[in-house]
Structure 1
């Protein structure tokens, strides 16, 4: 059979000047500035990346500056690290066993807020134990890992301020079950600075917690070589509104602080590096998130070379889809966002991935939500084969330029933190918190003005929504677990030298993690800083919808070509705030306007049309309501300059695509004498 030879001779080479000219004709393709103060061009060329030396290196090279390790591509897999967030230890074990039978390949758990702060179940508030396991005793560990083949399944637990109590329980568990602890793999790590930033307080001084960090790392290096004990996480900063440059810089500064502190305590660089896990949250800005992860690999290589110019370290990157972008209403859109975020994680080179269940923002997640998240991994692995491509974004002029810009800005901010004493000092001075707060305020403004889109919230909001106050967070009651408190008379057995054998003896006698930390606290002082403010992008919209439940807006389209487009702007704006909208079309007289407003009782009305037609009809229509309180809006940016004139004619305000929804609706609710707390 004869086949035609593929040829592209009919396509002539188009000069880049011609491309630039075509792009300039489309105003939607103009340059845009990101939250990181990076100007994204509408068109990139080879010349934009010609100066980047690292592009000469092959993907998955010896230091993996581009892409994950070579083994990941051969196997075509990443670690499916779906964290189980149930508060019940026994139920967590059941769900883990079910998940392992259905595709999950790690034993991953969310540690409760109580556990991350060093509290036992009976010392914590209900909210602190509502989501995630609180592993307080050896018995808890035995129940949690019952029937789990630990020699074949990596672990993943972020224990918060310290991992020493849990490592003690694990050692005792291994002894009791004749299991060789050297076979443990995965991450059982601590992140004292991340915990301090998130909660504002840790139960021991950071100096003592660094002792724990060094102790756990020395233990792992000597006895559990495949276990990672240090977690450097950007998640607390991400969930408080930090941008990509800030996340990268804070990760670098925290990682350097941990290495420095371990080396001060007698560990070498080569003993520390293999036991570090770097944990990122990944949002829905696809190319930015891909570039962020790619940038981190190269930035971390620079950090390692600053310690030892002969050292090579491939960072282990764990990613989690963003809780910041999740919504309590129209929750299935969370699954769509998480899929995009998971894709960005893998293209960016993640070694391990947790996909937030779509309902995790309201409660401990349902088994169906866990299943959906787990199956998203399996589809990406076995149907897209995305992980079999080495550095799939590599070579894209846009992504490479974006990666380089993030690297440059993050390195500059990292240098500034180091010049002022490092990450711990920056947290204690409040500099980090102030920077993140400023960025959060900017992002909140962009969300409220619907510049930053959140599908199902700022745009395409569901017409029938359940008000946030009716979405009951099924906070599980604190699990009734009997804590066998170890007598304070036996505190002499407690070693101040942090010997694991001493801890193991105590763990075997039934002491709790909280009790251990209380004994340590007698020889230490807790550290505190101003905590980061947790933030979720959809929160204000969810709160405002509580007040607008049952309210409606009447939208009037005048006989004018521009009226329909303006009506869509009004409908989108008010529906995002929870109002039901009713529309009447083809109005051509002020009598029709007045009659419809009299017949259809709504909280407010919107008139859509050209400047001249709106002024002609509205002025006369408003004379019918001189003694009544009627709230009317007009739509269009061309009206903004005449806002004062319109208000004199009885118009509530002028709205346009970038109107601040929350401020606009709060003003209306105030006029309706509704007390609002948003």
Structure 2
């Protein structure tokens, strides 16, 4: 017995797009279609309100097959839950790692401190402000052993982030593998040599670029020979993304950097397929869900094309992606919202097909994360995999006409920019001549303008702030004590091993096994003055509004009270509540406390309440009918009572001049520059900015 296929639309005619547009135009009542229904992204992509089969690519491939748009694998195994560790104290690092591994994490990243990344040991006088900053104080094999005590290195993939000191750090890890009896086939990890990424992020490369690329190629060749399941080269675009890169710019930077490294590896003697497999990419994902999904899909498509042109076989063209929730999306104010931001980002990374994902703890912008924050970050991934079952479907977003179209458009935008970069001499050239920094600065300025006008909403920051929130504090470690401990640990090896060879990676590993520190190895490998450029800046979306909140808090600490604004609410609650709420959110986003009330029937009672409040500025809040009837009278009375600056909430339309003549100094409404108004208002109230 057979059953006819059920088609719910079978009884209805199929409308054409033209017919749909006619219906839309009627619903819009003449309003411009492009303004009302089309969203324009910074990448130059116009997001349409409707997508159809015509927007889907003719051939998207299959998961696990070139061009890998739909995933580097056939699906089913999910992504590695990676946790990233950068606490200064080695015991704190070790405790956090073991806790993560016991409760769901499957891979680790260890970031070494700024002293190491500058080629110094923690007890070096030049490292006084660097030791323990932004990373773990790992300087020797004993330090690394302490940090990784109890971690089964034959089972857990470990990635290192050591900046320009990838070789000495790799020597430490290899020495530890040897000491623990980890055989080459069992070791899993990444050394992450990334000279162009270091130059972008730190602004300093302690050798010539050609020398750095040659050493990177040597590390890769040595890794291929000795450690078959380890990658030597990393392409981390975090510096570009945190400087303000759009998704297309971030992808273009990844492609241009990756191509530069491929050339160096092949020139260093590796076959193209081997060179491809020695590279791992780290891409940041934000909380624009669909754009982030499309970004990872486009990244694989683009890299497959680059490697195809370079002569790689299809299996070697698959891009290995570690997705990291972007640092720039994290706020210091109302940090609890970061849990939601990073969950959306992690969801997008998983749907987009990342090989591994790292979720930042919600308090990461405040200092060292506590156990609760790390647990929530870890469990958000566990929940996505185990309870939401995201890993049980291959390429869940595949077939969505919108996602497929967005993937293709993003890939096209990134490819055009990548070609422009190559035409300018490649990634190194545009970093050195400053052109790239200028491009990112323009992108950040455009984004900051959108944030300032609340076109881009930040919950808890420029929208729905909580001025009374209890601050989340994360005490800084005792760096002086930690430096003293490091000095005691480092002293014996300097006496027992006064000199060592540094003419090969094998010699570095031997030296590391004897206790030679990263700082000493870095000094032995140093080659002249190296390169120096202005490092790319680090931005967070919330930084401008948070600066205003900080200034208002400092004012409160000095005077005993926040700066305040009086809400001159007209009429009944139902009449003014919408604009009163708008005004409260508007001013409290800048740390100006809104003094509310149930509304006033006449100007006299409003004036008396204003005088009693002690405020110097006020904002009229009411419905259009209330404004029409009462705004001018209330404005005159309030200005006569001494209101320094009088605002009106809402767009006054053709009544602007009349309201201004009555005493209204400024109007706040959708589309105005919130940040600029708040800055000038705080300055008028005597708050130091």
TM-score (norm 2): 0.90
* 2:239 is aligned with 1:236: yes
Task: Report the CA distance between 1:613 and its aligned residue.
Answer: 5.2
Separation in 2, partners of 1:627, 1:456: 34
Q: Contact (CA 8 Å) 1:171, 1:181: kept in 2 or not? A: no
Within 5 Å, give how 1:160-199 maps onto structure 2: 160-199=163-202
Deviation at residue 555 of structure 1 after TM alignment: 1.8
Tell me whether 1:520 sits opposite 2:525 in the alignment: yes
Deviation at 1:489, TM superposition (A): 13
TM superposition shift of 1:401 = 1.1
Deviation at 1:85, TM superposition (A): 2.4
TM superposition shift of 1:128: 5.6
What RMSD over aligned residues (CA atoms) do the two structures have, in Å? Answer: 2.7
Distance 1:564 1:664, change over 3 A: same
Change (3 A) 1:239 1:125: farther
Which residue is 2:227 aligned to?
Answer: 224
Deviations 1:130-166 (A, max 9, x none): 3321321111122122222211111122222231101
**3-state SS in 2 of match to 1:83:** strand
Q: 2:45 aligns with which of 18, 34, 38?
A: 38
1:59 aligns with 63
Q: Which residue of 2 aligns with 1:366?
A: 370
Q: In the aligned structure 2, how far is the partner of 1:284 from the partner of 1:30?
A: 21
Distance 2:453 2:604 in 1: 34
| Bigger Cα displacement from structure 2, 333-342 vs 88-97 | 88-97
Question: Which of 239, 243, 248 is the matching residue for 1:245?
Answer: 248
Question: What is the TM-score with the length of structure 1 in the denominator?
Answer: 0.91
> Partner of 1:74: helix, strand, or coil?
coil
Write the mapping of 1:397-416 to structure 2, written as runs, cut at 5 A.
397-416=401-420
* Aligned-partner Cα distance in 2 for 1:9–1:169: 65
Whether 2:396 is the aligned partner of 1:392: answer: yes
Question: Alpha-carbon deviation of 1:64?
Answer: 2.5
Q: CA deviation at 1:284?
A: 0.7
Q: 1:149 is matched with which residue?
A: 152
Aligned match of 2:340:
336
For 1:571 and 1:125, locate their aligned partners in 2 and report how far apart those are by CA, in whole Å. 45
Partner of 2:556: none
CA deviation profile, 1:6-25 (whole Å, cap 9, x unmatched): 66267524414454445453
- 1:572 to 2:576 alignment: no
Write the mapping of 1:465-480 to structure 2, written as runs, cut at 5 A: 465-466=469-470, 471=473, 474-478=476-480, 479=482, 480=485
> What residue number does 2:281 align with?
278
Q: Does 1:658 align with 2:671?
A: yes
Shift in Å, 1:389: 1.0
Counterpart-to-counterpart distance in 2, 1:363 and 1:674: 27
Change (3 A) 1:439 1:131: same
Quote the offset at 1:245 in angstroms.
Answer: 0.6
Over residues 95-132 of structure 1, what are the superposed CA-to-partner deviations in whole Å (9 max), with x where a residue is unaligned? 21222122111132233233333332234344662332
1:327 is paired with a residue whose SS is coil
Aligned to 1:303: 306
Q: Are the structure 2 counterparts of residues 510 and 309 from structure 1 closer, same or farther at C-alpha, using a change threshold of 3 Å?
A: closer
SS in 1 for 2:234: strand
Give 2:208's match in structure 1, choosing from 194, 205, 209: 205
Q: Say whether residues 1:554 and 2:537 are aligned partners.
A: no
What whole-Å deviation, never above 9, does each CA across 1:63-95 have from its counterpart, x for those lacking one? 53312312xx233x3111111222112321222
| Alpha-carbon distance in 1 for matches of 2:4, 2:606 | 67
Deviations 1:513-570, CA, capped at 9 Å, x for gaps = 122222222x333211121111011112222113334233222332498744332321
Compare 25-34 and 154-163 and name the one that shifted more.
Answer: 25-34
Offset of 1:210 from its aligned partner? 1.2
Distance 1:276 1:83 in 2: 19
Matches within 5 A, 1:345-356: 345-356=349-360
- Return the alpha-carbon distance in structure 1 between the equivalents of residues 232 and 519 of structure 2: 20
- Distance change in 2, residues 1:310/1:148 (3 Å): closer
Partners in 2 of 1:643 and 1:456 — Cα distance?
Answer: 31
Which is further off, 611-620 or 13-22?
611-620
Number of the residue aligned with 2:261: 258
Shift of 1:196: 0.7
SS at match of 2:357: strand
Find the aligned partners of 2:185 and 2:669 in 1 and give their Cα distance: 63
1:74 is aligned to 76
- Once the two structures are superposed, what CA deviation does each residue of 1:386-439 show, in whole Å capped at 9, x if it has no partner? 122111111111111111111111111100111111100110001111111111
- Counterpart CA distance in 1 for 2:515 and 2:365 is 34
Q: What is the alpha-carbon distance in structure 2 between the residues aligned to residue 176 and residue 250 of structure 1?
A: 38
Kindly state the Cα deviation for residue 203 of structure 1 after the two structures are TM-superposed.
1.9
Cα–Cα, structure 1 residues 279 and 427, in superposed 2: closer, same or farther, change >3 Å? Answer: same
Instruction: Specify the SS of the correspondent of 2:686.
Output: coil
Query: Structure 1 residues 235-244 or 152-161, which shifts more?
Result: 152-161
Q: Secondary structure at the match of 1:216?
A: helix
Aligned to 1:122: 123
| Secondary structure in structure 2 of the residue aligned to 1:54 | coil
| DSSP-derived class of the 2:457 partner | coil
1:506 aligns with 2:519: no
Change (3 A) 1:128 1:412: farther
Contact 1:358–1:369 at 8 Å: present in 2 too? yes
Distance 2:115 2:281 in 1: 22
| Contiguous gaps of at least 5 residues in structure 1 | none
Which residue of 2 is the match for residue 97 of structure 1?
98
Q: How far, CA to CA, are the matches of 2:337 and 2:638 in structure 1?
A: 44
Contact 2:82 2:106 in 1 (8 A): yes
Say whether the 8 Å CA contact 1:211–1:265 is kept in structure 2. Answer: yes
Distance 2:89 2:638 in 1: 64
Q: Deviations over 1:291-341 (max 9, x none)?
A: 111101110011001111645421110001121111112111100111000
The one of 523, 529, 535 aligned to 1:531 = 535
| Structure 1 residue 168, shift from structure 2 partner | 1.3
Corresponding residue SS for 1:584: coil
Q: 2:501 aligns with which of 471, 494, 505?
A: 494
- Going from structure 1 to structure 2, the CA distance change for 1:629 and 1:210 (only over 3 Å counts) comes to same
Q: Distance in 2 between matches of 1:627 and 1:586?
A: 18
Aligned residues: 662
8 Å Cα contact 2:467/2:588 also seen in 1: yes
Aligned 8 A contact 1:608 1:634 in 2: yes
Check whether the contact 1:20–1:43 (CA below 8 A) recurs between aligned residues: no
Distance 1:459 1:476 in 2: 36
CA distance, structure 2, for counterparts of residue 183 and residue 624 of structure 1:
77
Distance change (3 Å), C-alpha of 1:9 and 1:311:
closer
Residue 190 and residue 558 in structure 1: after superposition, are their counterparts in 2 closer, same or farther (change >3 A)? Answer: same
Question: Alignment partner for residue 605 of structure 2, among 576, 592, 595?
Answer: 592
Q: Which residue of 2 aligns with 1:631?
A: 645
Deviation at 1:356, TM superposition (A): 0.2
Which stretch has the larger CA shift, 331-340 or 205-214?
A: 205-214
| Distance (whole Å) between structure 2 residues aligned to residue 256 and residue 533 of structure 1 | 24
Contact 2:116 2:165 in 1 (8 A): no
Change (3 A) 1:127 1:327: farther
For the 8 Å contact 2:252–2:414, the answer to whether it is kept is yes
Q: Which runs of 5+ in 2 are unaligned?
A: 554-561
